Amino acid sequence: MTETASKRLLVLGAGTAGTMVANKVLHKLPDWSVTVIDRDDVHDYQPGYLFIPFGMNTPKQIRKTSSHFVDSKANLVFGELTKIDPHAQSVALSDGRSFEYDYLVIATGTTPRPDQTPGMLGDEWHRSVGEFYTYEGSVSLSRRLADMTSGKLVVHICELPIKCPVAPLEFAFLADDFFRRKGVRDAIDITFVTPLDGAFTKPVASRELGALLEQKNIHVEPDFMVESIDQEAHLLMSYDGREVPYDQLVTVPVNMGADVIAASGLGDELNYVPVDKHTMRSTEFDTIFALGDAGNLPTSKAGSVAHFSVEVWLDNFIDLVSGKPMSEAFDGHANCFVETGNGKALLLDFNYETEPLTGTFPLPKVGPMHLLRESKANHAGKLAFRHIYWHALLPGRPLGLPAAMSMSGKEVPPAVETVTKPNIPTF
């Protein structure tokens, strides 16, 4: 046991990061007082939202109670957060309760905000204007897709960053597979509308994923910044005057951090807490950390990032409360399975410095997983992860996956030839 004065840790949010933090801290610092505050007692396995519309997970498999997963030694509180006072080191709830802390972990995640795009909310919300980033949205889409036999399906990203940035691509791939199995794929157009200039942000992954989209006859509408949605005309409209018609829209609304972060003056323009990218410590307040999707780390907002960064954070936190300098640095490691349909998936493994590359994972040549290439083993890995999540990850058991990314098995592309006379960029 580590020798530290027993203190109070307050954790905002009982999602992936918050639950792991509470459980891991109480394991290492059993004398600490740990309080976890969440809005309600619901914990969803969020990667399952992608599978529900296609009947690959049932709603029951992905929804459980939070209290079941948070260490019973923690004080689990339900309520609406209204204000964080970083100077007084206290947090207020809408019902008048307040909680003081010695250290605060903000793990309030990121939330889809359909109110940010004119015309998105309205009578057709969760009908012809669908989404799969909430439980309700996902369940309603399963009914919509089951009934769809022809027309235009448009999968759309409003703005980055979003939680799990590969999920919209996966949705398009799974929809292709779903309609193919139903025998109606020929009668359904699938279009992928993105604010990026290609399938993905990074060159190698964009090339590989772009090729898959083409192969599956999914049309890409790039550089599309949505201005509004016309629910009556069934049109998606961009700032530069383009219109994309749809029969069924599957949009990913603007994602934003929690309102309490904005109300407390702790966030950037999207309510994310500015943090040091290696320690997840607030750049403003030494007693505040933001973990999971709540901070502004320049890597994917994803469960794997929450997982790896919490492990690094824990080692640092033990250092810190023992009066030592924090010795670990998070590298931005993300590890994401990308469902591509037909019982296959590919795998992305990357960090701040290294973009997703091709190769094998975790071992050179033998894998068994393939990076950026479709395989059944990758798909099996993705499906199995739900069990690992509930039974090992949330309780804080070690998974045997190193937090730091490894270059082992990765194929490094040759350096780009030096351009002596660069062109003027094409826009």
Partner 1 sequence: MPTTTIAGRTLDVNEEGFMTNPEQWDEALGAELAKLIGVDMTEAHWAPIRFLRSDFAVQHETPTLRRVSTQAGIPVKDLFALFPGKPAKKMAYVAGLPKPKGCV
* Distances 229 to 119, 123, 192, 238 between C-alpha atoms, Å: 5, 12, 16, 9
Alpha helices in 281-375 (DSSP H): 303-321
- Residue 151 main-chain phi, psi, to 5 deg: 110, -165
DSSP 240-279: TS-EEE-SEEEEEPPEEE-HHHHHTT---TTSPBPB-TTT
Token code pair at residue 309? 């960064």
Cβ-in-10-Å burial (0-12, 13-18, 19+) of 54 comes to buried
| CB contact set of 244 (below 8 Å; sequence gap of 6+) | 154, 156, 191, 193, 221, 224, 235, 236, 237, 238
414 binds partner 1 (CB under 8 A): no
Q: Which is nearer to partner 1, 98 or 239 (CB)?
A: 239
- Pick from 202, 207, 278, 386: which binds partner 1 (CB under 8 A)? 202
Closest distance between partner 1 and the C-beta of residue 284, in Å? 13
Answer yes or no: are the C-beta atoms of 327 and 318 closer than 8 Å: no
Tell me how far apart the alpha carbons of residues 155 and 417 are, in angstroms, rounded to a whole number. 36
268 binds partner 1 (CB under 8 A): yes
Mask: binding to partner 1, 346-365, rule CB under 8 A, as x and -?
----x----xx---------
Q: Which is nearer to partner 1, 196 or 404 (CB)?
A: 196
Size of the site for partner 1 (CB under 8 A): 34
Closest distance between partner 1 and the C-beta of residue 309, in Å? 15
Identity of the residue numbered 391: H
33 binds partner 1 (CB under 8 A): no
Q: Name which of 43, 47, 54 is nearest 18 in CA terms.
A: 43
Closest distance between partner 1 and the C-beta of residue 48, in Å? 22
334 binds partner 1 (CB under 8 A): yes
Closest distance between partner 1 and the C-beta of residue 299, in Å? 6
Token code pair at residue 183? 């025998």
- Pick from 112, 165, 168, 267: which binds partner 1 (CB under 8 A)? 165
415 binds partner 1 (CB under 8 A): no
Tell me how far apart the alpha carbons of residues 231 and 128 are, in angstroms, rounded to a whole number. 8
- Pick from 56, 121, 184, 196: which binds partner 1 (CB under 8 A)? 196
227 binds partner 1 (CB under 8 A): yes
425 binds partner 1 (CB under 8 A): yes
72 binds partner 1 (CB under 8 A): no
Closest distance between partner 1 and the C-beta of residue 107, in Å? 19
- Pick from 223, 247, 259, 276: which binds partner 1 (CB under 8 A)? 223
Tell me how far apart the alpha carbons of residues 344 and 111 are, in angstroms, rounded to a whole number. 29
Query: Number of C-alpha atoms within 13 angstroms, CB side, residue 341?
Result: 20
Q: Which is nearer to partner 1, 197 or 286 (CB)?
A: 197
- Pick from 72, 269, 325, 353: which binds partner 1 (CB under 8 A)? 269
Q: Which is nearer to partner 1, 127 or 207 (CB)?
A: 207
Cβ-in-10-Å burial (0-12, 13-18, 19+) of 5 comes to exposed
* 42-50, 155-163, 322-330, 402-410 -> range binding partner 1 (CB under 8 A): 155-163
Site for partner 1 in 274-333 (CB under 8 A): 298-301
The residues binding partner 1 (CB under 8 A) are: 159-161, 165, 196, 200-202, 223, 225, 227, 239-240, 268-270, 298-301, 334, 350, 355-356, 416, 418-425, 427
